[in-house]
């Protein structure tokens, strides 16, 4: 793979000057065009030690307009980053639509180096590459232009540069340590395996011979320019749009859904409710302090029909928890900063710190519920979302986050009763809008969407809890009980 | 001060129940109203140890709708917070318009406890209170409702609770440590001094007797309800608007401005320029690595006339700096998240981490330049901004941030030449818009605004550097040279 680009290419000073001038003008022009068309561009700069990744990035910062452009290295992770799932550090640095981010190593650096150092095995490396592939596919589908550059050095040049670096004891901190020839070889084996797995049609790797600095920089600039121009011309977008997905129809109209399995007759007397409420609230309080001590964070998702009692259940839970520990995130229309990113970005950014807790009143599942039913997301978008969401949740769980998901289920009759009752209560009136009535008319569409959601995302790692909520007392206690059980299990 | 509220007030269980019901409905109603009218509400909960601040906050979370409401304690500061000026932790937690934030202790906790512990003296405490007063005044003027609650315990009750706490070895982490009677007395002296300084007409302290829990909670709820209703009725806003400020006219049309002192004839030959550029760029590179090692962050502000060469000067600087270390922040229209906060919030949120650097292409000075001239800010708003900006910058400097401010000055003739030239260059054409021509017509207004800006904000701590920029070479070298000198001075 790498030998193929060891061609000894170079560029004279004069040629460099001429080509640079033209390239700069071109880069600036296309950068402006992509800013205007609100394309997010991510440039990942990777390669062997000593290939001069830093120099390339400095050059790019010179050539491009560095307003609307940011460079990120992940060399000194902050405590806040360590307290969250691994990819949080990348998500918070992703470029917004219309801007450019340059990442040193990006998500490749850690797994490749871990494998080269022998800390993980091939299977684990492949897993990591699989995750990367999914992420890049997802971001590309969202319109991001991802340009991945790999800078290669021949064995001889590499050795020469490492020698020089060791002699120099340069002041500039390098991202990696100097590699010995043996390390270089091991690294190339790992790198090749990684690149092979992630060299996709949408996000190909661009291999650049880095022995000659001028040739290296012009080549990098050219690749970037070409990819940006190609994106500007929209060829990739068209390709994407034509790629029609077939819907996975999991139920037909006549069939039962998973929701029919919920026993909607479950009830609790007020007496039993009060008793159980007190018992579980005490438990919940203790359990969350234990989770805090254990530095385990918790994320809870509350979804359900309008008027199913999400707010009430959340309140019964939070009433029992120290207000310093939790945050209720009510998912409404995204802000414009959120709209400038992938739809999962707003949820990544809310990841709680170690020991803390986030309760979502509606969540990322909006993608496969309201956005699907109302047509806000195209079919291929919500169809891909199951996988994307499963990946996201898997990452939370891997990090040690305790994740709970509730669907509060009621019958259409009970919903109607509650709507009417709300309309009569002066201080609840605001809770019932035209939109609620409209959603109600789409009950069957939602029924189907909920079924598909549960089928696709109720995983072994993180099952859905379907709550019988025709009786509010029953719903609240079911939620509290489940929380206690799951927390106990996770913490023991 | 505190004895005046030691009245032994209490509330029976039955009375509590009746009053609670009414209060809850009232609180929810006014919360909704303030959300709709986009008022940000900040509730600061402070007081003596053992007064039950945590219980009160839990109660508020129960009474109010905790969607759109967050609780913050500053008990376990993160590394990212410690790497920034002290108030960054508060700014990042300030409520957006339409939402509520509850802060334990808020900005009061640290100085009061530092003084009580004897780590700072009275003068330092007073300084801290002065800063708080300014901040609260500024946030109130921006429309924030600040409700400050102080919970007091009589000597006897305090002692009883501390005894109990020591015996219990409760699991719940408390914000402070248990106080001895002696510490309690010392604390009250400090607290009184602090409260006295910050008990302003706009943000008064509400003192609540906390010996009886039911009385305490109902009182807290009542105060909050009353303040919110009062705010909703708008009485405070009206009062504010009537408070007309007289402009501090520092120059009349005929007089010279500070800008006339700039020698616009300064030039550099290309030869000298190239030589000096190389020299200073090498220095700059070394200096920023030194700053990185010393964990000193740098903030640079570039302001100047349109076409004065801000971008070019920034690029000559960043070309010399490792791309991992800096970020160029181009100040354009605020996002809606930024609009939901005080105008300084967007700059606070950009504070660089220790050792890193932020370069602003236009900055917070927009408030007293374009916003003043175009009338986007009312007179009392931009008039107050000088003080607000000085406070902000003082906080950066106290934290050890190296702050540099440049005004790039050109003559109207040179601007005209450059405008015309830009219109002729195909890839610079986009840089010249209708707005630039409009701004040009307001040269005199801007001249006045720049003069006032320099007069009010060129402080000993952080002077403006007025750069002679008719000659681009000269401008770039002046900037680089100043950066080198200032950095050297700061780091030595």
Domain ranges within chain A, ordered by starting residue: 3-240, 258-491
Q: What is the pLDDT of residue A170?
A: 59
Helices (H), B37-93: 53-63, 79-82, 88-91
Q: How many CB atoms lie within 10 A of CB B174?
A: 13
Q: CA dihedral in degrees (B477, B481, B487, B491; nearest 10)?
A: 140
Task: Work out the pLDDT band at A243, boundaries 50, 70, 90.
Answer: very low
The distance of A245 to chain B (nearest Cα, Å) reads 35
For the segment A67-87, the average pLDDT, to the nearest whole number, is 85
Exposure letters A339-368 (e unless 16+ CB within 10 A, then b) = ebbbbbbbbbeebbbbbbbbbbbbbbbbbb
Closest among A334, A284, A336, A264 to A486, alpha carbons compared? A284
A47-64 confidence digits (pLDDT tens): 998 899 989 998 998 899
> pLDDT per residue over A99-110, tens digit each?
999 999 999 999
pLDDT for position A414: 96
Q: Is A75 on the interface with B (CB under 8 A)?
A: yes
Q: What's the token pair of residue B142?
A: 């921006």
| 3-state secondary structure at position A440 | helix
Residues of A with Cβ-Cβ distance to B363 under 8 angstroms: none
pLDDT at residue A151 tops 90: yes
- Which residue is closest to A359 within chain B, CA to CA? B67
Q: How far apart are CA B80 and CA B346, in angstroms?
A: 17
Query: Tell me: domain B258-491, CATH 3.40.50.10710, correct?
Result: no
Helix (H, G, I), strand (E, B) or coil at A145: strand
- Model confidence at B172, pLDDT cuts 50, 70, 90, reads low
- CA B31, CA B42: separation in Å to the nearest integer? 12
**Tokens coding B75:** 């008990």
Note the helical H segments in B304-442. 310-318, 336-339, 345-348, 370-373, 379-398, 412-424, 434-441
Nearest CB partner across the interface for A330, out of B54, B67, B72:
B67
Give the pLDDT band of residue A427 (cuts 50, 70, 90).
low
pLDDT digits (tens, 9 = 90+) for B176-187: 556 788 888 888
| Residue length of chain A | 492
Whether the per-residue pLDDT at B491 is higher than 90: the answer is yes
Q: Kindly tell me if the per-residue pLDDT of B247 is higher than 50.
A: no
Contact B208, B5 (CB under 8 A): yes
Neighbours of B131 (CB within 10 A): 18
Domains B3-242 and B258-491 share a fold: yes
A306: pLDDT strictly greater than 90 = yes
Residue window 419-458, chain A: list those with CB within 8 Å of chain B.
Answer: 427, 430
Place of tokens 């009589």: B154
Report the mean per-residue pLDDT for chain B.
88
B344-400 pLDDT, tens digit per residue, is 999 999 999 999 999 999 999 999 999 999 999 888 888 888 888 988 998 999 999
Chain B residues near residue A37 by CB distance under 8 angstroms: none
Return the pLDDT at A240: 47
Across the interface, do A67 and B328 touch by the CB < 8 Å criterion?
yes
- Nearest-Cα residue of chain B relative to residue A75: B324
Cβ separation B315–A62 shorter than 8 A: yes
Cβ–Cβ gap B75/A32 under 8 Å: no
Strands (E), B109-162: 145-152
Report yes or no: A168 at the B interface, CB cutoff 8 Å.
no
What's the pLDDT band for B261 if we cut at 50, 70, 90? confident
**H or E element: which one contains A151?**
strand A145-152
pLDDT in tens, A255-297: 678 888 899 999 999 999 999 999 999 999 999 999 999 999 9
CATH of domain A3-240: 3.40.50.300
Architecture of the B3-242 domain: 3-Layer(aba) Sandwich (3.40)
| Confidence (pLDDT) at B176 | 55
Give the side-chain half-sphere CA count within 13 A for B25.
10
Give me B407's structure tokens: 């005004």
Residue that wins the pLDDT comparison between A231 and B202: A231
Residues of A in Cβ contact (< 8 Å) with B324: 54, 57, 71-73, 75, 104
Least confident of A71-80, B128-137, B190-199: A71-80
What is the phi-psi region of residue B27: left when phi exceeds 0, alpha when psi lies from -120 to 50, beta otherwise? alpha
Average pLDDT over residues B203-212: 90
Task: Please identify among residues 304-343 of chain B the ones whose CB lies closer than 8 Å to any CB of chain A.
Answer: 311, 314-315, 318-319, 322-324, 327-328, 330, 335-337
pLDDT score of A246:
46
Give the residue carrying structure tokens 């490792």.
B322
CB pairs under 8 A between A and B: 106
Nearest CB to B322: which of A58, A322, A427? A58
Q: Are B77 and A78 in contact (CB under 8 A)?
A: no
Q: Kindly state the percentage of chain A with pLDDT values over 90.
A: 59
Sign of the Cα torsion B149, B155, B157, B161 reads positive
Distance between CA atoms of residues B207 and B100, nearest Å:
21
**pLDDT-derived band of residue A253, with 50, 70 and 90 as boundaries?**
low
Contact A359, A329 (CB under 8 A): yes
Kindly provide the ipTM of the predicted complex, given to two decimals. Answer: 0.72
Q: Choose the closest CB to A104 out of B102, B172, B324.
A: B324
Q: Which segment of A332-341, A394-403, B425-434 scores lowest on mean pLDDT?
A: B425-434
**Contact flag B58-A323 (C-beta cutoff 8 Å):** yes
Contact B25/A at CB under 8 A: yes
Q: Which residues contact B369 (CB under 8 A, 6 or more apart)?
A: B303, B446, B449, B450, B453
| B326-330 sheet: strands from edge to edge | B326-330, B357-361, B298-304, B402-409, B464-468
Does A80 contact B at CB distance below 8 Å? yes
DSSP-derived letter for residue A91 is: H
Contact check, Cβ <8 Å, A324/B62: no
């Amino acid at each position: 793979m790498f030998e193929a680009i060891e061609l000894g290419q170079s560029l004279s000073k004069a040629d460099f000057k001429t080509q640079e001038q033209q390239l700069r003008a071109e880069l600036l022009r296309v950068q402006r065009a992509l800013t205007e068309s609100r394309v997010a561009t991510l440039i990942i700069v990777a390669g062997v030690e000593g290939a001069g990744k830093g120099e390339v990035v400095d050059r790019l910062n010179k050539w491009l307009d560095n307003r609307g452009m940011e460079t990120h290295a992940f060399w000194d992770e902050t405590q806040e980053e360590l307290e969250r799932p691994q990819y949080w550090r990348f998500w918070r640095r992703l470029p917004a639509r219309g801007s450019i981010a340059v990442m040193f190593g990006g998500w490749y650096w850690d797994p490749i180096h871990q494998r080269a150092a022998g800390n993980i095995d091939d299977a684990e490396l492949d897993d990591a590459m699989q995750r990367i592939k999914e992420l890049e596919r997802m971001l590309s589908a969202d319109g991001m232009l991802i340009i991945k550059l790999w800078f290669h050095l021949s064995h001889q040049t590499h050795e020469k540069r490492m020698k020089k670096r060791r002699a120099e004891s340069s002041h500039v901190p390098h991202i990696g340590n100097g590699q010995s020839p043996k390390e270089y070889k091991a690294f190339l084996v790992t790198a090749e395996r990684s690149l092979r797995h992630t060299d996709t049609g949408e996000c190909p790797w661009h291999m650049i011979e880095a022995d000659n600095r001028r040739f290296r920089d012009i080549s990098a600039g050219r690749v970037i320019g070409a990819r940006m121009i190609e994106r500007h011309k929209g060829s990739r977008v068209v390709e994407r749009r034509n790629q029609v997905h077939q819907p996975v129809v999991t139920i037909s109209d006549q069939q039962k859904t998973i929701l029919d399995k919920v026993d909607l007759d479950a009830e609790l007397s007020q007496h039993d409710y009060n008793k159980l409420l007190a018992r579980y609230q005490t438990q919940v309080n203790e359990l969350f302090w234990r989770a805090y001590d254990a530095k385990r964070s918790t994320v809870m998702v509350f979804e359900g029909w309008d008027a199913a009692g999400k707010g009430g259940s959340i309140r019964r839970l939070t009433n029992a928890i120290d207000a310093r520990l939790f945050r209720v995130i009510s998912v409404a229309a995204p802000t414009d900063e959120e709209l400038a990113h992938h739809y999962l970005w707003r949820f990544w950014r809310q990841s709680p710190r170690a020991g803390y807790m986030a309760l979502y009143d509606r969540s990322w599942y909006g993608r496969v519920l309201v956005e699907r039913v109302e047509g806000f997301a195209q079919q291929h978008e919500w169809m891909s979302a199951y996988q994307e969401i499963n990946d996201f949740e898997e990452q939370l769980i891997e990090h040690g986050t305790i994740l709970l998901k509730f669907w509060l289920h009621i019958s259409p009759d009970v919903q109607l009763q509650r709507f009417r009752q709300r309309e009569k209560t002066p201080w609840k009136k605001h809770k019932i809008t035209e939109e609620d009535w409209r959603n109600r008319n789409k009950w069957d569409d939602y029924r189907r969407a909920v079924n598909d959601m549960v089928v696709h995302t109720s995983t072994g790692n993180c099952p859905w809890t379907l709550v019988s909520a025709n009786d509010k007392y029953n719903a609240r206690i079911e939620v509290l009980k489940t929380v206690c059980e799951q927390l106990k299990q996770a913490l023991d």
